Amino acid sequence: MGSRRKLILLAVAIAALFAAAALGVPHSPDGLRALVAPLGTFATVAFVAIWAALTPALFPGTVLAAASGLLFGTAIGTGVSIVGATLGSALAFGIARRFGRRAADDLSGARIQRLQERIERRGFLAVLYARLAPGVPVTLLNYAGGLSRVRLRDFVLAIAIGGAPRAFAYTALGGSFGNWNSAPALIAIALIALPTLAGALLLIRARVRAAATA
């Protein structure tokens, strides 16, 4: 099977997973809570498993984190969110690595190969910066990591560390629903807003420098 065809089949499979999740899984925190709450003491394990399964289907992690806060509260929910998100990212990474990595290498030119080598040398930091950067969808970052030469260990560690602040933020918002003046809610809002503001300032600075150079 040709390399291009393999990548197309991988994309089709991801699209099919996305469609199945869109049609068969509640897309609101309340709906997910209603789905998992009846499981009682097994709810945390079930929720982690659901999160891991939904991540390759490009299901929004913000909804899952908010549902985790509603179900388990901020303290326990944050741990559940970090574990679920990390396992889900590792699963999506593994799918891309198993079914698309060789095909991606075959289709890469010399320039892409050199870029891959640089990313591989800075694997942990490259993934960490991408995970912390505002506006980078982690669902797509998972598959991009699998198609790259980043080692799984470096990828998982960077995803867990880089994703922890946002996992706490959205989990805290879910756990503080209706009580926006609470300390966890205010910290969560700050964690969400500050990276976006910092990214905007860095973009403005880069454009000013480019204009000055021109």
pLDDT at 15: 87
Query: Is residue 204 within a helix (H) or strand (E), and if so which, with residue range?
Result: helix 183-213
pLDDT at 45: 94
Using only C-alpha atoms, what is the Rg of the chain?
Answer: 19
Sign, Cα dihedral of 104, 109, 113, 116: negative
pLDDT at 40: 83
pLDDT at 18: 84
Q: Token digits for 101?
A: 């990595």
pLDDT mean over 19-23: 85
Q: What is the pLDDT of residues 77-98, one digit of tens each?
A: 999 999 999 999 999 999 988 8
pLDDT at 200: 64
SS3 letters across 149-166:
CCCHHHHHHHHHHHHHHH
Domain chopping of the chain, boundaries: 3-213
pLDDT mean over 4-12: 78
Looking at residue 69, its amino acid is G
- Give the alpha-carbon dihedral of 173, 182, 201, 117, to 10 degrees: -40
Cβ burial 29-60 (10 Å sphere, 16+ → b, else e): beebbebbeeeeeebbeebbebbbbbbbbbbb
* Distance (Å, whole) CA 129 – CA 194: 15
pTM tops 0.75:
yes
pLDDT at 138: 86
Q: What is the pLDDT of residues 113-126, one digit of tens each?
A: 665 666 677 778 88
pLDDT at 157: 94
Q: Label residue 110 by pLDDT band (50, 70, 90).
A: low
More confident residue, 79 or 30: 79
> CB-based contacts of 108: which residues, under 8 Å, 6+ apart?
116
* Distance (Å, whole) CA 61 – CA 208: 34
Q: What is the pLDDT of residues 177-210, one digit of tens each?
A: 666 667 766 777 777 777 666 666 666 776 777 6
The yes-or-no verdict on residue 111 having pLDDT over 70 is: no
Most confident region among 5-14, 26-35, 60-69 by mean pLDDT = 60-69
Residue whose C-alpha is closest to residue 92's, from 33, 138, 129, 136: 138
